[in-house]
Homo-oligomer: A and B are copies of this chain.
Amino acid sequence: MYHHIKKLMYTVNVGIADPRFGNMLLEQFGGANGELAAAMQYSIQGLNCDDPERKDLLMDIGTEELSHLEIVGTLARMHLKPMKTHRDAAEVDPLIAIAGGGGVGLFNSMGDAWTADYLKITGELDVDLRSNIAAEARAKIVYERLIDFCDDAGSKDALQFLMTREITHMKAFAAALESLGKDPFSIGNIPPTAVLVDQYFNDSTGVGDDGETDARGPWNEGGKWKIVENSKLEHGVENLEGSNDRGADPRKVHGAKDSKKSTFKKKSA
């Protein structure tokens, strides 16, 4: 269960309210990478989690993000309040001004209502931790951009606090992932097809308008990588040498390759 403590986790101070900046801040209140998204993603992953130790981690951080949501909301509220009475301010975000009376709502900086489509929750712990690491990295860069567009010292203080905590969480999630002791490229239980997994398909070719060409790097050469040119694929991957050899995979299945015709399976009664 939850308990609310009236004191903010980080006290916010605003020297001069700036509705344009307040509107930008909504990205971290009701936006795609904002604090509600973080709070919900981690808390619901925690609710679904069968690993009691990492469940605790997910609930610790999920709860902290709720406290951050409150900080961002309070800060945005202070910057947006002039929208209630000043028409210049109201025109920055008429949804907040006219429909919300100058108060915050769960919208982003362009007035889009927050949606759970922003969340990444799979119920597979290591996969979820990866989604969380990426989510924290995104939140960090968004806070940095807000700081860069912010003129108010007190607001910057609060944003610096919030931005710092995203790195804290990123470290914690990375440590939790590593502590699972899994091969970083082993996801779930079914192994990938052996030869095929190391083939890099060169699907974008030629010379771009700015002179870009095909590039080589550790993502397609060295180690086991083998580059397959797009032209080699034109008869279908299944005709590439070795592409369907799954080695010792006990789940290997053989489908009839000669027909796209199929009969219809009704539900068994």
Residue-wise, chain A 123-147 has the 8 Å CB interface mask toward B (1 for contact) of 1101100110110011011101111
Contacting pair A137 B141 (CB below 8 A)? no
Tell yes or no: A250 within 8 A of B by CB. no
From A194, which residue of chain B is reached at the shortest CB distance? B164
Please name all residues of chain B whose beta carbon is closer than 8 Å to the beta carbon of A121 when the two chains form the complex: 100, 103, 105
Known: A1-B234, A48-B77, A54-B219. 19 other contacts (CB 8 A): A1-B8, A7-B206, A12-B209, A15-B262, A17-B263, A17-B265, A27-B94, A32-B117, A60-B220, A66-B66, A86-B266, A89-B264, A122-B141, A152-B255, A154-B257, A173-B219, A175-B218, A209-B260, A210-B260
Contacting pair B256 A154 (CB below 8 A)? yes
Given A110-B111, A124-B141, answer yes or no on A7-B260 (Cβ-Cβ < 8 Å).
no
Q: Smallest distance from the beta carbon of A250 to chain B beta carbons, Å?
A: 13
Residue-wise, chain A 33-59 has the 8 Å CB interface mask toward B (1 for contact) of 100100010001101100011111101
Q: Smallest distance from the beta carbon of A124 to chain B beta carbons, Å?
A: 5
Copies of the protein in its oligomer: 6
From A222, which residue of chain B is reached at the shortest CB distance? B175
Please name all residues of chain B whose beta carbon is closer than 8 Å to the beta carbon of A98 when the two chains form the complex: 24, 27, 109, 142, 145-146, 149
From A149, which residue of chain B is reached at the shortest CB distance? B87
B4, B91, B127: the one within 8 Å of A141 (CB): B127
Task: Give A179 to B267 CA distance when docked, in angstroms.
Answer: 40
From A3, which residue of chain B is reached at the shortest CB distance? B3
Contacting pair A215 B56 (CB below 8 A)? yes
Given A201-B64, A262-B17, answer yes or no on A52-B212 (Cβ-Cβ < 8 Å).
yes
Q: Smallest distance from the beta carbon of A131 to chain B beta carbons, Å?
A: 4
Q: List 29 A-B contacts (CB under 8 A).
A: A1-B9, A2-B66, A3-B5, A4-B60, A4-B204, A6-B205, A6-B206, A7-B206, A15-B262, A16-B265, A23-B94, A24-B98, A48-B104, A52-B208, A52-B210, A88-B267, A101-B124, A110-B111, A120-B138, A122-B141, A127-B134, A134-B134, A137-B187, A144-B189, A153-B253, A163-B192, A164-B192, A167-B197, A168-B199
